Amino acid sequence: MSIESKAKIVTTHVLHEMKLRGEKIAMLTSYDFSMARIVDAAGIDIILVGDSASNVMAGFESTLPITLDQMIYHGQSVVRATKRALVVVDLPFGTYQGNSKLALNSSIRIMKETGADAVKLEGGREILESVNRILSAGIPVMGHLGLTPQSIHKFGTYVVRARDEEEADKLVEDAHILQDAGCFSIVLEKIPAKLGAQVSRELKIPIIGIGAGPGVDGQVLVIHDLLGITQEFSPRFLRRYHNLFAEISGAVQSYIKDVKSVDFPNEREQY
């Protein structure tokens, strides 16, 4: 790899500079080698190995069931494919809440076994001890506030968060707490656009939104949603760039037809 191409690799420092010069940050999820290779080569800034793998890869209804071993497997696959983007791996539910030593051990396993660049945790003040302990080991941490899917059983619903003043104030306070602790960035999920813009203005670190409006420093989507592989999930914040479900289905139907009619394999497709 040449020095020029090395210089293009995205680091937490590069992301900070992007915020300073007002350049928006593009982030997407990936969970496997083939998809990560495409996403990375296309020029994405951050690849998130999200615990949304629990939904889109494993078919669970929430992010809660996915394990640390499974996240490490997905992380390894993505890191193997990624040359340019910063790779962030989600700490799954039950591997950091209420136990900072466990949080540190989980993060060290992710960093050692996947080669990722950072970890992401959901929550504010209540996970501060875990965040501090992970940071003290030199592991970059991305926060996640607003709608935090690992707490779905506490919220009871996936509706927009922080609409009322009390919750909005707590979110702003939590964002400052995470920044002061040393987090390099925060994801804000499904909150009013005005609040997203306020947090982005007040904080020095890059704020990445998913359903947090255009006033934040970057956007993140789940790649399966963007490509139209998932069909049922249609929140207002989602822009679908493709209907890959229909395209893949059409290709599979053509293949079935060709096999049944012995059109495949033809003379050129055999030995």
3-state secondary structure of 146: strand
From residue 167, give the alpha-carbon distance in Å to each of 98, 163, 172, 254. Answer: 21, 7, 9, 52
> What tokens were used for 183?
């987090």
Least distance between ligand KIV and beta carbon 55 (Å): 8
Instruction: Tell me if 146 contacts ligand KIV by CB under 6 A.
Output: no
By beta-carbon proximity to ligand KIV, the closer residue of 45 and 101 is 45
Least distance between ligand KIV and beta carbon 56 (Å): 8
Instruction: Tell me if 12 contacts ligand KIV by CB under 6 A.
Output: no
- Whose structure tokens read 């071993």? 69
From residue 16, give the alpha-carbon distance in Å to each of 183, 206, 221. Answer: 12, 6, 20
Instruction: Tell me if 35 contacts ligand KIV by CB under 6 A.
Output: no
Instruction: Tell me if 178 contacts ligand KIV by CB under 6 A.
Output: no
Give the active site residues. Answer: 189
> Which residues in the 197-216 window bind ligand KIV by CB under 6 A?
210
Q: From CA 148, how far away is CA 183, in angstroms rounded?
A: 17
Instruction: Tell me if 227 contacts ligand KIV by CB under 6 A.
Output: no
> Which residues in the 98-117 window bind ligand KIV by CB under 6 A?
none
From residue 236, give the alpha-carbon distance in Å to each of 7, 189, 197, 215, 225. Answer: 37, 12, 18, 17, 12
Instruction: Tell me if 45 contacts ligand KIV by CB under 6 A.
Output: no
**Alpha helix segments (H runs only) across the chain:** 3-7, 12-20, 33-41, 53-56, 68-81, 100-114, 128-136, 152-155, 165-181, 193-202, 223-226, 244-260
By beta-carbon proximity to ligand KIV, the closer residue of 90 and 117 is 90
- Whose structure tokens read 């822009």? 239
By beta-carbon proximity to ligand KIV, the closer residue of 51 and 174 is 51
By beta-carbon proximity to ligand KIV, the closer residue of 87 and 267 is 87
3-state secondary structure of 188: strand
Q: From CA 87, how far away is CA 78, in angstroms rounded?
A: 8
Out of 25, 28, 35, 51, the residue judged to bind ligand KIV by CB under 6 A? 51
Least distance between ligand KIV and beta carbon 64 (Å): 12
Instruction: Tell me if 230 contacts ligand KIV by CB under 6 A.
Output: no
Minimal CB distance residue for ligand KIV: 50
By beta-carbon proximity to ligand KIV, the closer residue of 104 and 226 is 226
- The torsion angle over the Cα atoms of residues 243, 244, 245 and 249, rounded to 10 degrees, is 120
Instruction: Tell me if 187 contacts ligand KIV by CB under 6 A.
Output: yes
Binding site residues, ligand KIV, CB under 6 A: 29, 48, 50-52, 90, 187, 189, 210, 220, 222
